[in-house]
Structure 1
Amino acid sequence: MTALLAARLVVQRDGFRLDVELTVGAGETVALLGPNGAGKTTALRALAGLTPLSGGFVTLDGRDLTSTPPERRRVGVVFQDYLLFPHLNARDNVAFGPRRQGVDRRGAHAVADRWLERVGLAGYERRKPRDLSGGQAQRVALARALAVDPRLLLLDEPLAALDARTRLETRAELRRHLSAHPGATLLVTHDPLDALVLADRLVVIEDGRVVQEGDAATIMARPRTDYVAQLVGLNLFRGRGDGHVVHLPGGFALTATDVVDGDAFVAFAPAAVALHPRRPDGSPRNTWPAVLTDIQRHGDNLRVRLDGPIVVAADITPAAATYLDLQPGRELWAAVKAGETRAYPAS
């Protein structure tokens, strides 16, 4: 896919350095994920021209935008808090961009009305932001961003302010609009579900740098940092591979069906961890004594944290928890079958 957006974003300030390269193709949605403070919003603001670059470049449609002011970039932005103009009604909020581009009032209102209809808000043209629900305000903000016919659409945590039910409905609507958008879209989010549902490709940044990128299936199967492993819900360890065995720091080893040599990761799901009141007999290749340190509700099951030669999360049913008499400090045996682990090169 030919890149519509190509950028290297270098921002240095207050002891923090962002240095990431991003490409997004026409019609593609890329999700930028990372923990708080990783630099996600800084990257978005740099692309919008709201934060100056210390180095690097931004090109869109082959045009160098590095020194172009925000109002002259064909960029639409939906901020986390939407930032609708409180004194303007929905129509005038959406018409603001076209008016700034030189469209007369009547023409801008016509554009706004079309976009409000597309996002399902026909009849809401005269409502002020204070009279809109969270989901309606998000759709007005999206219509305002799209009304300028952007080649690049930037979304900063667009669903974060919504309650769970509204978020579910709005996510589906947003997916439909992004699928129809012919330009490039960059979605900043900390929510893996938003990224999985809305994006074609994921880019993960930590401490201002890209640590992993690719399609969701690849990242979910082979996380490369603790943050990514937690994001996709896996236990992750790094060690030295020697055939089917990965030797971890401290002398513990995990066996996998994969063959890997040298610096390696080994990962397995919490659901793959079986707990026993005493050392199990039979086939599990990976067995170790553990102490339960925490237990929490996790969907319909319970997620427990285990200390021992390795620290792991395990998912069990409430019935199993009752049988095992689980409580902090409980001594148990943990086991993971070799076939439930994935080992892969770390380099």
Structure 2
Amino acid sequence: MKGPALTKDTGGGTGLDAHLLLDRGSFTLDVALGVRPGEVLALLGPNGAGKTTALRALAGLAPLTGGHLRLDGETLEDPALRRRTPPEARPVGVIFQDYLLFPHLTALENVAFGPRCQGMSRAAARALAAGLLDRMGLADQAGAKPRRLSGGQAQRVALARALATGPRLLLLDEPLAALDARARLDVRAELRRHLAAFEAVAILVTHDPLDAMVLADRLVVIEDGRRVQEGTPAEIARRPRTDYVARLVGLNLYQGEAAGHTVRLAPGLALTTTEAVDGPAFVAFPPSAVTLHRDRPDSSARNAWPAAVTGMESHGDQIRVALTAAGLPLTADLTPVSVAELLLAPGAEVWASVKAAQTHAYPA
């Protein structure tokens, strides 16, 4: 038998229109969000950036001090109008980082709990829950209590419980953080499939760039309570605009003044780039584009500077080497054999070079 739809018909809803303004004195969140029905948005940022505060504000657990929150044209919160819908009355489903399943209830009873609270009959709620568990591939675990479920199974039960009330906004707080690396791979793929079938608005909070890149259609990067970058995963990865984003996607990123194919980064340090840009510009390139030499490379290498090794660490099957060049940080990925041949160690002086064809310049 075909399972129930993953959400109620949104009736052509307009999605989420929010300006989350929350002033806590020592910290202020000021982020505008617009999300279409059927779209998955990821809020990405370092610890303390305001991601969880934003999620709590959307759920109604942290009252706004300004701005507004509208969902499918309905105002859920607007301090200026003294309007605030309490959390329990909002059409919002939440999946918490630790899932927070009721330990004394079976998987079926956990999923049926929300519809029962909405007034659905016990039989109808159990039928809805059974259909959702079947959709999640958990029909054989309907009678199991949370302590008997694996991490991946518990995550899917939590998703089914959140969907059972037909939310127009689904919030996911670090949805894969509680899983080990092996389970994470499979559950991430399953979660992506279920989110793709969700017809309303879905927002996930994560600090893991891979989760964000795989699960979301669009990313909003938050730092210090502010939105610093927004775009598709490909746009964010290709054109980072802060050091935090560059580190997430594994790029060297610099900002300087461009004139044609040259970007001046610091006194005595300039980069020749593939793209021609004029004015303030960013230039980015991967650590794999950096080559290190004991002596100055031949004169045809236009991007070459003396550098000093400041540290080294394993990075997959390579060694990531941290350096400074003209006072700026630089990272290079080398094979263990290359590290040994160059006799690299903290404090070693080398020459670093980057091919212009492997750089990417764009307006700041």
- Fold agreement, TM-score > 0.5: yes
- The one-letter code sitting in structure 2 at the alignment partner of 1:340 is Q
Q: Which residue of 2 aligns with 1:304?
A: 321
Residues 134-184 of structure 1: per-residue CA shift (max 9 Å, x gap): 111111100100111111111110001100110001001101101111111
Q: Which residue of 2 aligns with 1:260?
A: 277
Separation in 1, partners of 2:361, 2:70: 39
Given that 1:283 and 1:337 are in contact with CA atoms closer than 8 Å, whether structure 2 keeps it comes out as no
Equivalent pairs: percent with the same residue?
64
- The one-letter code sitting in structure 2 at the alignment partner of 1:293 is T
Separation in 2, partners of 1:315, 1:252: 21
Q: Which residue of 1 aligns with 2:67?
A: 56
Given that 1:290 and 1:307 are in contact with CA atoms closer than 8 Å, whether structure 2 keeps it comes out as yes
Q: CA RMSD in A?
A: 1.4
Query: TM-score, normalization: structure 2?
Result: 0.92
Q: Which residue of 2 aligns with 1:240?
A: 257
Q: How does 1:171-190 map to 2 (within 5 A)?
A: 171-190=188-207
2:288 is the counterpart of 1:277? no
Q: CA deviation at 1:118?
A: 1.0
Q: Which residue of 2 aligns with 1:342?
A: 360
- The one-letter code sitting in structure 2 at the alignment partner of 1:320 is S
Q: Which residue of 1 aligns with 2:93?
A: 76
Gaps of 5+ in 1: none
Residues 188-230 of structure 1: per-residue CA shift (max 9 Å, x gap): 1111111111111111110111100011111111110000101
Alignment equivalent of 1:326, drawn from 344, 355, 359: 344
Separation in 1, partners of 2:265, 2:233: 27
Q: Which residue of 1 aligns with 2:56?
A: 45
Q: Which residue of 1 aligns with 2:242?
A: 225
Separation in 1, partners of 2:145, 2:308: 56
Q: CA deviation at 1:302?
A: 1.0
Q: Which residue of 2 aligns with 1:15?
A: 26
Q: How does 1:107-146 map to 2 (within 5 A)?
A: 107-146=124-163
Given that 1:3 and 1:23 are in contact with CA atoms closer than 8 Å, whether structure 2 keeps it comes out as no
Residues 19-56 of structure 1: per-residue CA shift (max 9 Å, x gap): 10111111111111000011111111111111111111
Give the 4+ runs in structure 1 shifted more than 6 A. Answer: none
Q: Which residue of 2 aligns with 1:36?
A: 47
What is the number of equivalent residue pairs in this alignment?
A: 346
Separation in 2, partners of 1:335, 1:3: 50
Q: CA deviation at 1:282?
A: 4.2
Separation in 2, partners of 1:123, 1:342: 52
Q: Which residue of 2 aligns with 1:148?
A: 165
Separation in 2, partners of 1:93, 1:207: 36
Separation in 2, partners of 1:42, 1:251: 43
Moved more, 122-131 or 327-336: 122-131
SS at match of 1:248: strand
Separation in 1, partners of 2:31, 2:345: 44
Q: CA deviation at 1:236?
A: 0.6
Given that 2:13 and 2:72 are in contact with CA atoms closer than 8 Å, whether structure 1 keeps it comes out as no
2:111 is the counterpart of 1:94? yes
Given that 1:74 and 1:152 are in contact with CA atoms closer than 8 Å, whether structure 2 keeps it comes out as yes
Separation in 1, partners of 2:277, 2:254: 14
Query: TM-score, normalization: structure 1?
Result: 0.97
Given that 1:2 and 1:26 are in contact with CA atoms closer than 8 Å, whether structure 2 keeps it comes out as yes
